[in-house]
């Protein structure tokens, strides 16, 4: 069996920036164990697979795997999948409906960007967060902790996010993904994302984290349209908007390579 693999840099307009995703289009699903082994072999934060949908409610079904486990939502690999469909595979319609473990995700081509309609996950305040969280984030001073899927940790300023030196052993022991965030200087807000519990110490740019970040910062800043930066070494840019119970996350992509997997 031969499979085509594309590697796309997502949430960036230049090569070697943003978050690289491995995209593997399929005619039909292969086994979960094989998808997990392929993700482990690719060793990127996410390997994404999609197949043509059977029913009328979606165009494709989509699944995402880290090197260690399947996840319920991934932004950069969804963006990369849409880029491959729009710009490589010749998908001719302006919108793609992906059926996922987080419901229908509609992705739209919009000039030089691709926009994703994602669930809005409003994080709630947490008072009993693990004491190890401070040490896990390099003895940082925490302003507040909220949570939906992931811990959302706010700190006082952008430099604290940029200079944070996490202890990934401690964060893995906590067992939850962690978003570190602050109000931005050249962006409305900035963030970093740590997920050693699923095999990713730091994710370069994390669309799914913005399902929490957008409603959180919209409430704090009193605005629905925002520009965000993720301050990993590779860096990334996201254009964000809060709707009623959904968020829109837009970004750019760059093609890196096409390969063939021989199984």
Distance CA 248, CA 58 (A): 18
Around Cβ 244, how many Cβ atoms within 10 Å?
5
* pLDDT at residue number 242: 98
Distance CA 207, CA 238 (A): 8
Q: Where are the domains of the chain?
A: 2-118+249-262, 124-242
Cα angle 241, 189, 186 (rounded to 5 degrees) comes to 105
pLDDT tens readout for residues 165-186: 999 999 999 999 999 999 999 9
Question: How confident is the prediction along the chain (263 residues), in pLDDT tens digits per residue?
Answer: 999 999 999 999 999 999 999 999 999 999 999 999 999 999 999 999 999 999 899 999 999 999 999 999 999 999 999 999 999 999 999 999 999 999 999 999 988 999 999 999 999 999 999 999 999 999 999 999 999 999 999 999 999 999 999 999 999 999 999 999 999 999 999 999 999 999 999 999 999 999 999 999 999 999 999 999 999 999 999 999 999 999 999 999 999 999 999 99
CA 4, distance to chain mean position in Å, is 22
Please, are residues 7 and 23 in contact by the beta-carbon 8 Å criterion? yes
Q: Is 132 a catalytic residue?
A: no
Please, are residues 39 and 199 in contact by the beta-carbon 8 Å criterion? no
Say whether 124-242 and 2-118+249-262 share the same fold: yes
pLDDT tens readout for residues 132-154: 999 999 999 999 999 999 999 99
* pLDDT at residue number 111: 87
CATH class label, 124-242: alpha beta
Distance CA 246, CA 241 (A): 9
Given the residues 46, 61, 158, 237, select the one marked as catalytic.
46
Q: Which superfamily does CATH assign the domain made up of 2-118+249-262 to?
A: Diaminopimelate Epimerase; Chain A, domain 1 (3.10.310.10)
């Amino acid at each position: 069996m031969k499979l085509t693999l594309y590697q796309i840099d997502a949430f960036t307009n230049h090569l070697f920036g943003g978050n690289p995703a491995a995209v593997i289009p399929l005619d039909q699903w292969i086994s979960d164990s094989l998808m997990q082994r392929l993700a482990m072999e690719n060793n990127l934060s996410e390997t994404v697979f999609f197949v043509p949908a059977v029913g009328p409610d979606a165009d494709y079904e989509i699944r995402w795997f880290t090197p260690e486990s399947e996840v319920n939502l991934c932004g950069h690999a969804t963006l990369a999948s849409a880029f491959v469909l729009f710009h490589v595979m010749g998908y001719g319609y302006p919108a793609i409906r992906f059926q996922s473990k987080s419901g229908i995700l509609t992705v739209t081509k919009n000039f030089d960007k691709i926009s994703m309609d994602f669930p809005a996950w409003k994080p709630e305040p947490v008072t009993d967060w693990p004491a190890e969280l401070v040490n896990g984030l390099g003895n940082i001073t925490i302003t507040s902790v909220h949570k939906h899927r992931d811990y959302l940790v706010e700190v006082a300023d952008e430099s604290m996010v940029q200079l944070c030196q996490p202890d990934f052993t401690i964060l893995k022991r906590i067992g939850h993904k962690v978003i570190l965030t602050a109000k931005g200087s050249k962006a409305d807000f900035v963030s970093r994302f740590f997920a050693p519990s699923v095999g990713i110490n730091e994710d370069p740019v994390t669309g799914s984290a913005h399902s929490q970040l957008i409603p959180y910062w919209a409430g704090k800043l009193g605005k629905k349209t925002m520009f965000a930066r993720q301050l990993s070494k590779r860096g990334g840019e996201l254009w964000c908007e809060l709707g009623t119970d959904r968020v829109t996350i837009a970004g750019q992509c760059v093609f890196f390579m096409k390969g063939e997997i021989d199984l």
